[in-house]
Structure 1
């Protein structure tokens, strides 16, 4: 069995399959540390992902895993962190919200203690867990899923599915972040207007603070825009003024693989492999990783 894609969806799915006793290889166009997943903010929260009823179940299943992994933050990269989603209202969220421990209404929004994942650490941990289960990771590009030499191929190609499947319903939603020295902020904050391509959030990670962000649909540029970066810092500083003077460490851009709905299904190919698709997670691949991985593994026979 071959899993195509080495980001959060691919590696998590590969772990589930390998630990079920299946021989599994991961083929990835680039190492995990260079995938879109590696530049993600890392906050567990269903964001820009459909369909909501299924997403809620996948997200809660993933939350339970992260709560266990948070007991070993240095190893897994997962911590439980308090924060506020400004403008969010419990009645406007799906049924999943009522099952998040400690999620509560506060002045102006909702507060919760939820997982924050240090993505470079977590991806490395997933890869190590996968190889310890007997799996192998190969850096190689796939141009034809039907030609992959395995009876079962699990498609976790994210935005790559647009051309590889091909599936024109997969579209990029560009996210830009600014990484700064943390001036002492220990809580996360989000304020997202879904009708706007700009948002405001900051997420504390070990040794740094991630500032965001943008949600620019159908934008393909991976080059950080200086004006956008300045606007991100200004928006975050309007919430926490100490951010204004924080030293900038890096700029990041990632393209979220958006779709009208996650594609998680079997597709037998005539005279070819069984394809199992697991892509289209938008801005919440981290949030639904384990729920989707387990369902994909079931579809693959794992």
Structure 2
């Protein structure tokens, strides 16, 4: 793998919209509209998008039930992962959809996500993980998983299964640290999906090229987001969807929309727009290196907050560390990226 500072072609920062109590999936009447809230998925937005959109569909349909045919149009606010997928699920249910958004991919925060299947990433805190919430998560994860499998093999490979290597300085039965200091404890939700989670394999030193003494090979589903987002948009427009570029600064502005049902998919933006102070920003920075088609595997360096993914638009290097939790600053830190790239280069013998 060629990992060096001169091969960095892009650095992007996203704000993961985390709610300790889990995503907000509920409806209310506001300014004469049937408003459905659908946001707050932490780092699991893309992974859970299809299942979560299906979970809120009955709330959307409740707002249009009994209306005349011309009233069956709904509005979706937000053009990111949750907004686009909510629009597609509503279309599949026979509704006409208009998206209102300030930005579209690749200029939305969710475009800076890693693209790794991670449905349990900062979904909720351990303290808030009630049996009902965990069951809801499992339903959303399984529903999303089925849809992701249906996208395998399409042109451009929007979804792929890839092998990867989990590197560790310590034996895997010893704690190497998980999320950075200062973050809450999160539940082990993936234990609920043993049947759709391929097992990892412990490798001998002569079976891998890495310096670390402990290495496991795993198989992981990944998304080529640049291709997949384009596919979502094309499908949405082809089936009659409309897009209006508009920024909302107050909830009262939704009263002027012609649609009787509005789906709020504004992510972290809901904190300012709807006053949801439970939303916690979690900064995530990714960098893309010049594509290397010959690198077809992922790397995760346990305890170091380092992830490398072989996407079609470049080798993606993601890092996390102390100071990310509660941080809404979307200013790229080039020094952080260069340090991560140097660590990547150093894992090889």
TM (norm. structure 1) is 0.70
Alignment of 1:168 with 2:264, yes or no, is no
Asked if the contact 2:200–2:219 (Cα under 8 Å) also holds between the matched residues in 1, the reply is no
Q: Which position in structure 2 is the counterpart of 1:188?
A: 298
* Structure 1 position 39 matched with structure 2 position 112: yes
Pick closer, same or farther for the CA change 1:145–1:120 going to 2, 3 Å.
farther
Cα shift at 1:101: 4.4
CA distance in 1 between counterparts of 2:284 and 2:295 reads 22
Name the CA shift for 1:156/1:106 in 2 (closer, same or farther; >3 Å): farther
Q: Residues 238 and 190 of structure 1: is their aligned pair in 2 closer, same or farther, counting only changes over 3 Å? A: same
In 1, Cα distance between the equivalents of 2:265 and 2:217?
Answer: 32
Measured in 2, the distance between the counterparts of 1:97 and 1:181 equals 35
How many residue pairs end up in the alignment?
235
Q: What is the match of residue 334 of structure 2? A: 226
Structure 1, residues 251-299: CA drift from partner, whole Å, max 9, x if none?
Answer: xxxxxxxxxxxxxxxxxxxxxxxxxxxxxxxxxxxxxxxxxxxxxxxxx
Query: Which residue matches 1:100?
Result: 196
SS at match of 2:310: strand
On the 8 A contact 1:57/1:96 being kept in 2, the answer is: no
Paired residue for 1:158, among 267, 271, 284? Answer: 267
- Pick from 145, 151, 154 the counterpart of residue 72 of structure 1: 154
Query: Which one of 144, 165, 168 corresponds to residue 62 of structure 1?
Result: 144
* Structure 1 residue aligned with 2:344: 236
Q: Which deviates more, 141-150 or 6-15?
A: 141-150
* CA separation of 1:128 and 1:207: change in aligned 2, threshold 3 A: closer
Match of 1:81 in 2: 162
Query: Normalising by the residue count of structure 2, what TM-score does the alignment of the two structures yield?
Result: 0.61
Shift of 1:235: 2.5
Distance in 1 separating the partners of 2:152 and 2:109: 23
Tell me if 1:208 matches 2:305.
Answer: no
The structure with the larger Rg is 2
Aligned residue for 1:24?
A: 97
Deviation string for 1:114-154 (max 9, x for gaps)? 32111122111101111122211111112233532222111
Equivalent pair of 2:79/2:99 in contact (CA under 8 Å) = yes
- Give the 3-state SS of the residue equivalent to 2:315 in structure 1: strand
- Determine the C-alpha separation between the residues in 2 that align with 1:109 and 1:10: 38
**8 Å contact kept, 1:60–1:96:** no
CA distance in 2, matches of 1:230, 1:169: 33
CA distance in 2, matches of 1:58, 1:69: 17
2:15 paired residue number? none
Displacement of 1:86 after TM fit?
5.0
Question: Is the Cα–Cα contact under 8 Å of residues 77 and 118 in structure 1 kept in the other structure?
Answer: yes
Distance, in Å, in 2 between the alignment partners of 1:230 and 1:124 is 29
Rate the CA distance shift 1:147–1:225 in 2: closer, same or farther, 3 A: closer
Deviation at 1:238, TM superposition (A): 3.0
Structure 2: unaligned runs, 5 residues or longer: 1-73, 174-186, 204-213
Hey, what's the Cα distance between the residues in 2 that align with 1:166 and 1:109? 45
Task: Map Cα deviations across residues 36-57 of structure 1 (whole Å, 9 max, x no partner).
Answer: 1111110112312225713333
**Aligned position for 1:251:** none
Tell me if structure 2 keeps the 8 A contact 1:63–1:115: no
Asked if the contact 2:224/2:313 (under 8 Å) is kept, the reply is: no
Post-superposition shift, 1:92? 5.0
The question of whether the paired residues in 2 share the 8 Å contact of 1:42 and 1:117 is answered with yes
